[in-house]
Structures are given as structure tokens and as C-alpha cells.
Amino acid sequence: MRLLITGTLNGQLSQATKIALDRGAQVSHAETAQMAVSHLRAGRGADLMMIDVKLDIASLIRSLEEEHITIPVIACGVENDARAAVSAIRAGAKEYIPLPPDPEIIAAVLEAVSKDQGDLIHRDPAMNNVVQLANQIAPSDASVLITGESGTGKEVLARHLHQHSRRATKPFVSVNCAAIPDNLLESELFGHEKGAFTGAVARRIGKFEEANGGTLLLDEISEMDIRLQAKLLRAIQERVIDRVGGTKPVPVDIRILATSNRNLSDEVRAGTFREDLLFRLNVINLQIPPLRERPQDIDLLAAHFADKYAQANGLPQRKLSTECHRHLHANNWPGNVRELENTIHRAVLLATGVEIGAEALRMPDGSRMDDTIIGMASGPAAQAVIAAEGVTRTLVGRTVAEVEQDLILDTLDHCIGNRTHAANILGISIRTLRNKLKQYSDEGVDIPQPGEARQAG
């Protein structure tokens, strides 16, 4: 755990530093928000930032977003800073911790971040086989390609590999190739020199250098532009990188992991992915089965998420009812573990009885899950008739563009704003989805952000 503490608070954050060090964290200090950004820009990295609530947290978070630096921010302040605490949360801080620091609170925050990054919960034999293979090859430096549908837990498995490798004490750095525009991804990976392009106000160390000595995860690598793939191939082969605008190669010592929710062999045949890069990445392939093919994991994961979100929201811990389990197993889970987690999170918040019952299982649009599971006793023919009648009623008299827009936005709602998951369900690339959403936004359509669904009209 790498903790970056920003600010002074008359030495009270020094107490938090000591507590964190005692709990095994690696702690760095920055006196100002600007110094914190410089620290992260320089590639020194952090898994969590604790910051004085009196600093300009909104400006800090804007700077992090502009530079595509992802890190949870926790605000800290004296107990009577209630108004500042509210402002910090509104600005984007994840939590507020009162000072002087409570050792148990600090420990809980560090543990929560660590668990969010590393939970690998499984019971089903189909998943056990994958984990056993992962444990076998974890100590090596071989590149690993982790494949599976969106939401199956590819990044969690990647972190598991790192934690069981010889590089476990070194950085684990992840970059989502689908979330960063093509024109910025090269700088994100390889860094840039000051003045390399408009907006390059200072040298920025890229993810390759930040991960030096540790592990670099290239998440959703199938979305990387083929022109950038050539530079990536050289970096993997020769273990040197060139910063954008740089004049000399920079050596790096890293292990490469990659994930994809697409069949990269198909992408090679389509001309959108380099075959030689696939060979370099796919030394070992770990394929995670979808949740519908690992039914024994559903109950285990659901119980874990129920406990997790009850604790996070200060609610009593409840077991899931038998009827609730029946509905969970009846669902097809196109969004896999991520969808199950979101469903249980909502159920924890909506449950009112001594158990979490089926009535608390709601979809993002507010409908009950059992309303979406067509009569389990009815046959395939009845289901087909119902589906066909519904399609006919909703499509007649509408243009193709209108139907396409509704399909895209309804799918995005179903995925609670997750672009990668929605693109996977729709069978289109993340770039195509991003372009469509920009078009709709320009036309004044409300587009849900990650973690949101559209407001009911």
C-alpha cells in the first residue's frame, strides 16, 4: 500500500503517517496539492491520498483528471470542519476522516483500499482451475493475457498475479486503454518531455516508468490503436521506452499483463491488432469463465458484497433469503461479477426486513429483478411470443436511428454508465460507443456517467 499524505495540519497528519507506517504502508509526503500532482506526475505513484481538507481539493481533483491520474482521495480535518468536509466530498473526495487521527479508522481505510484492489473470491471448480494456474505461473516474469467477458474480474486476477509474484513489493500500475483517447494514450504509457506538445507544461513520467521494477497491466488492450501497438511491441521486446518528445531511450524492468474482453485472434484477422504483439503478450492465457458458468460463486460473492456494503453504509448485516438466492441464480448476469456487485449494493440499501429478500433486488431503472425474469415456469415458446410482441410494439413507426439511440442508452443504463461493459454487450468498439454518446450529448441528450443511470422521464 502506497500512501501519499498532502498538507501539514500542524503535525496532526504526521500522527496519521506514523499510524500508517505501523500498519505496513509506504508513506510519501507533499506539502501542497501542486506538489502532490508533481509527485504523481514524476511517476512515484500512490494507491491512496490523504489531504488536508483546507487545501483546494476541487482543483487537485481537476488536475488529476486532466492528467488521467486515478487515485482515491481522502480528506482530513479537525472535527469542527463540517462545512469543509461537505465541500471536500462534493469536490470528489471519497471520504472524510476527522483529526486527531484514530488508529482504527486509518487502519480501516487502508484495509478497505487494499481489499478493493485485491479481493479474489471464488469457490466454483471452473474458477478454481483458473486460480490454480495463476498461482503456478505467478512467480515467473512471463507475460500473461487475461481474457473473459466484461465484469468477470480480470483486473482482480491481475492484481492476484502481482501479489503472488517476486515483484509483489514493487508497484502494480494499471492503465485502461479503452478509457483514454488515442491521442493521449501514448503519453500516458511512455510519458512526455516538457513542450513535447501543446499542454505539456512539465515532464510527465509514463506508466512504464512508474511500474519500473513491478508489474504493468494493460487493461482492455484490444482498444489500443494499431499504430501505437508498434511502439508497445518495441517496449516489450527491448525493455526500453521513448518518452514523447524525448531524445534518448529509457530502460525499464517490468512484467507485462494484459486483459481483453474480445477474441484477439479475431482482431488480428480483422486487421485491428498486430499478430506479433499478440504472440508477445499471450505467453500464458488465463481465461476467466463468465459468472453464469460458475454458479457456486454466485452465493459466495453475493454474501461478500452484502457484508461489504452493509459495513460501508453503517447498516446491519443481513443474510440473503432463500428466495433472493433463487432469483440470483435465475439471472443470466450479462455484466458478470460487476453487475452482481451493483445489484447487491442496491439490495442492501433497499432491504427493510431481517433478511435481504427478493423484493430488494432492483434493476437500475427501479424495476424488480423478478419482473425481468419471464415466468420461470413458462416454456421457450411463451417467452418468444412475449418478446416478439414487445419488440413489435416498440419498433413500429420509428426510425433506425431512434431505435439505435434507445438501444445504446438503455444498455448504458443497464450497465450503470459503464462504457466498456455496454460496448461489450452491444458488440461495438469502445470508440464507436464514445462517438455515438458524444453525438447524442451534442444533441442535448442526457448521458449517464459511470455509476449513474438516466433520470426517469
Write down the pLDDT at residue 364. 59
List of domains in the chain: 2-116 (3.40.50.2300), 126-289 (3.40.50.300), 292-372 (1.10.8.60), 384-442 (1.10.10.60)
Question: 328: Cβ–Cβ under 8 A, 6 or more apart, which residues?
Answer: 298, 299, 302, 320, 340, 343, 361
Mean pLDDT of 17-35: 82
Mean pLDDT of 41-45: 78
- Model pTM score: 0.66
Amino acid letter for position 432? T
Please say if the pLDDT value at position 344 is more than 60: yes
Write down the pLDDT at residue 289. 96
Give the number of other Cβ atoms within 10 Å of residue 404's Cβ. 12
Dump pLDDT digits (tens) for 102-149: 777 777 776 666 555 556 888 999 999 999 999 999 999 999 999 999
At 359 the three-state DSSP class reads: helix
Mean pLDDT of 298-315: 88
Confidence class for position 452, pLDDT limits 50, 70, 90: low
Write down the pLDDT at residue 369. 64
Query: Residue 62, Cα to own-chain centre: how many angstroms?
Result: 19
Write down the pLDDT at residue 256. 97
Write down the pLDDT at residue 457. 45
Dump pLDDT digits (tens) for 276-298: 999 999 999 999 999 999 999 99
